[in-house]
Chains A and B, each alone.
Chain A
Amino acid sequence: MSIVLFLSITIILAATTYLVRIIYLSHAMVFAYVVLMVILAFELVNNVGAAHGEFFLADRLGIIFYIVLIVVSFFSAIHYVKFVSNRKVEASSVALHNAGTIFFTGAIAGVLFASHVGILWALMEATTLGASVLIYHNRNQESLEATWKYLFVCSIGITLAFAGILFLGLAAHKVGHIDFTFSAIKAVASQLNPVWLQACFLLVLTGFSVKMGLVPLFNVDIDAKDASPSQVGASLSSVLMNAGFVAIYRFYEAFSATAILPWMNKLLMITGMLSLFFAAAYLLKVKNIKRLFAYSSMEHASLVMIAFSAGGIGYFAAVLHLIMHSLAKSSLFFQVSQMHRIYASKHDDSIGSYLRINPLGGLVLLLGFLSIIAMPPSGMLITELMMFQALVAKNYWWLAIIILILVLVIIYGLAVRLLGILFLKKPLAQINLKGATWYESIIQLGLILLVFYIGLFRPDFIVDNIKLAIQSLPL
């Protein structure tokens, strides 16, 4: 099966799912779609580097994040079944949500494999439309507000990214006609006017920053993760962030052999540092647990950008960090759903003694907390150490110290809230003990243990594939 056929089936399946008003059948459509994704994955893994039509290429980086997409989508689908059964959601809302899920997931898969600049842009815009349907799911004041803001700001951002692509077109005039695939751009990039390439990269980074949850357009991303159901927040915090990274990576790689490489690295470093600063500042005052995790995602996105901008081992660290973050953060967002069922609140004032009330869920939260603050045995400790190693190798000592201070502030902010939730007794209005379900927690625990496993053992097939995926970048 080719990627083009897969995307065509995605559209048909999404449209069909929207028409299905039997809840179980609607869920079954999403699981069928996950099976379809797995079939495509087998095809792609067996033909790494194969072109699929003029607009798609199954390269190693795309495949790595595609596998993460399958894992997160599958567990998201399971959690949504539970979400619907608890909330008694109307069949029409379930149909719309499941159709939106298929469309959104397909658009992300398309972004991961797009080899043409225009198609990448169009599919990125499609993720905005899919995400807006998912964010609107609860149909209340918060979700309406978040959806409008997300749709409006993303659309403006992606329009600016399109302006960047047009500047690339202007630069390309110098070498005559090119087909706007990333490989064609890379082949001629060193002959193009660097000023236009800089304008292109700046606008693309600004436009796609909302997908990665970075400065300058991060606010709407935080609101979206807060107002949407937890499993949607999990997708926005993991697979959408990965898609944003891949989109920025494609442009970076295409321009990496030009004179603007140091400038791009500086720009990514500034973006990462500013994002880290804002994440630290907001994390200290936030009391809403979903927003807490959303700002934590912003922290990790900024660390990824900093590692990437440092180059060398930082490239490897950035990709591996994103994989592990996707697993840990989606697990934590899934867990928030259970906490909300038990306490009917997402504010830490009303959530306490969680380890005693729901021991398995509490364990997930505790291990998830250790994971995201990069405490041993979390694999993220390894990637963060690699990031510092890359910074020191470039003699960015002073930056490494500032980053360390900001990360400590973030750890403090997270510890105060999450350890309070786990261990402190608080005046709780009502508790619904039936809200805890062991199988959900087991899934979440599995995802976090996977992060520990990757960190402790660094399996060869992951390490080797990441190294091969980034081998085209400069040392």
Chain B
Amino acid sequence: MINFVIIIFIITLIYLSKVEMVKSYYPLMGLQGVLLFLLAFLELQEIDVVHLLIILLETLVFKALFVPLFLLRITKGRVHRHQKSPIKGYYSVLIALVIIVLSFITSHEMHDEFLDVKYFTAATSSILIGLFIAINNRDLVTHLIAYLVIENGIFLLSLALGSEMPMFVNAAILLDIFTSVLVMGIFFNRLKDYFQNTDASQLSHLKD
């Protein structure tokens, strides 16, 4: 089951790397949220109510529901198709595939007994593909999506490495991520109103 969920997650990453219509991002981000919930739930060794609640909040409520709806709201009626990117269509898919294969080889070669190769491959792929999306697109909404893809990778990395932080620290980290997405959304709205479109190349007023 875990293998199946991870494979679906990796497929969403490949699809995210070639998306051209902004509206296609929302269901993909929602799906990633659900998949992350399934993975975190399956990894739970014992059902502890508080722990389960935090996972529910972070994955299903925040990643699967809040993020897609919030993105839909801030881009509604204004942003349909993101700006042209230097690497297009199937070339992006090719790069995403190379990233995934390299991530797998690296994870496999690490030979660490505490490292889960499946999770680590998906996590590093997600972080690197997130960075690729951010670099390859000039559209600001895509930058926001890229940040969220990287955040999903970090969530998977915490599952891969199994590091446990105290509940208070987890809550603080979750609150920080939630607030940063919210604040970015607010500033995205202001940018959209100010510049009439969301092409990052317009953000070149500050120069030496």
Give CA–CA (A132, B127) in the complex, Å: 24
Q: Is B161 close to A, CB under 8 A? A: yes
Interface residues of B in 127-141 (CB under 8 A from A): 127, 131, 134, 140
Interface residues of B in 94-146 (CB under 8 A from A): 112, 114-115, 127, 131, 134, 140, 143
Binds A, one of B16-24, B78-86, B149-157: B149-157
Binds B, one of A136-144, A324-332, A449-457: A136-144
| A148 pairs with B187, CB closer than 8 A | yes
Binds A, one of B2-10, B60-68, B166-174: B166-174
B170 contacts across to A, CB distance below 8 A:
118
Binds A, one of B34-42, B44-52, B200-208: B200-208
- With beta carbons under 8 angstroms apart, the residue of B115, B147, B194 that contacts A144 is B194
- With beta carbons under 8 angstroms apart, the residue of B163, B169, B206 that contacts A146 is B206
Chain B, Cβ-Cβ closest to A286: B208
- With beta carbons under 8 angstroms apart, the residue of B112, B164, B172, B173 that contacts A193 is B112
| B143 pairs with A170, CB closer than 8 A | no
Chain A: minimal CB distance from B153 (Å) = 8
| B154 pairs with A163, CB closer than 8 A | yes
Q: Is B1 close to A, CB under 8 A? A: no
| A159 pairs with B162, CB closer than 8 A | no
Chain A, Cβ-Cβ closest to B163: A169
Contact with B along A141-171 (1 / 0, CB 8 A): 1101111110110011001001101111110
| A173 pairs with B162, CB closer than 8 A | yes
- With beta carbons under 8 angstroms apart, the residue of B150, B168, B172, B194 that contacts A156 is B150
Chain B, Cβ-Cβ closest to A122: B172
Q: Is B165 close to A, CB under 8 A? A: yes
Chain A, Cβ-Cβ closest to B208: A286
- Beyond A119-B172, A129-B179, A156-B150, whether A169 also contacts B161 by CB under 8 A is yes
| B154 pairs with A141, CB closer than 8 A | no
Interface centre among A121, A132, A162, A285 (most CB of B within 10 A): A162
Interface residues of B in 175-206 (CB under 8 A from A): 175-177, 179-180, 183-184, 187-188, 190-191, 194, 203, 205-206
Contact with B along A165-204 (1 / 0, CB 8 A): 1111110111001011000000000000100100000000
Chain A: minimal CB distance from B58 (Å) = 14
- Beyond A163-B127, A163-B157, whether A282 also contacts B208 by CB under 8 A is yes
Q: Is B12 close to A, CB under 8 A? A: no
- Beyond A166-B161, A174-B114, whether A148 also contacts B140 by CB under 8 A is yes
Chain B: minimal CB distance from A160 (Å) = 8
- Beyond A132-B187, A159-B154, A170-B163, whether A142 also contacts B206 by CB under 8 A is yes
Interface size on A, residues (CB 8 A): 51
| B206 pairs with A166, CB closer than 8 A | no
Chain A, Cβ-Cβ closest to B174: A122
- Beyond A118-B173, A128-B180, A169-B161, whether A144 also contacts B208 by CB under 8 A is no
Which secondary structure characterizes the binding site on chain A?
A: helix
B188 contacts across to A, CB distance below 8 A:
148
Interface residues on B, range: 35 or more
Give CA–CA (A226, B208) in the complex, Å: 10
A122 contacts across to B, CB distance below 8 A:
169, 172-173, 175-176
A156 contacts across to B, CB distance below 8 A:
131, 134, 147, 150
Q: Is B75 close to A, CB under 8 A? A: no
- Beyond A151-B183, A151-B187, whether A170 also contacts B161 by CB under 8 A is yes
| B165 pairs with A180, CB closer than 8 A | yes
Give CA–CA (A245, B26) in the complex, Å: 39
Interface residues of A in 111-139 (CB under 8 A from B): 116, 118-119, 121-122, 125-126, 128-129, 132, 136
Interface centre among A156, A193, A196, A288 (most CB of B within 10 A): A156
Q: Is A417 close to B, CB under 8 A? A: no
Give CA–CA (A169, B208) in the complex, Å: 41
Chain A, Cβ-Cβ closest to B180: A155
Chain B, Cβ-Cβ closest to A283: B208
- Beyond A170-B112, A193-B112, whether A145 also contacts B205 by CB under 8 A is yes
Chain B, Cβ-Cβ closest to A141: B205
| B176 pairs with A149, CB closer than 8 A | no
- Beyond A118-B166, A132-B187, whether A223 also contacts B180 by CB under 8 A is no
Chain B, Cβ-Cβ closest to A219: B206
Chain A, Cβ-Cβ closest to B127: A163
| B208 pairs with A166, CB closer than 8 A | no
B150 contacts across to A, CB distance below 8 A:
156, 159
Chain A: minimal CB distance from B112 (Å) = 7
13 CB contacts below 8 A, A to B, read A55-B168, A118-B170, A122-B172, A125-B180, A129-B183, A145-B203, A151-B180, A155-B180, A166-B158, A168-B163, A169-B161, A170-B112, A291-B208
Q: Which residues of A contact B (CB under 8 A)?
A: 54-55, 116, 118-119, 121-122, 125-126, 128-129, 132, 136, 141-142, 144-149, 151-152, 155-156, 159, 162-163, 165-170, 172-174, 177, 179-180, 193, 196, 223, 226-227, 282, 285-288, 291
Q: Which residues of B contact A (CB under 8 A)?
A: 112, 114-115, 127, 131, 134, 140, 143, 147, 150-151, 154, 157-158, 161-166, 168-170, 172-173, 175-177, 179-180, 183-184, 187-188, 190-191, 194, 203, 205-206, 208
Shortest beta-carbon contacts, A-B, top 10: A169-B163, A118-B169, A122-B172, A173-B114, A170-B161, A125-B176, A223-B206, A145-B203, A286-B208, A118-B165
- A155-B180, A166-B161, A169-B161 are known contacts; what are 9 more A-B pairs with Cβ within 8 Å? A118-B173, A119-B172, A122-B173, A129-B176, A148-B188, A151-B183, A163-B157, A166-B154, A170-B163
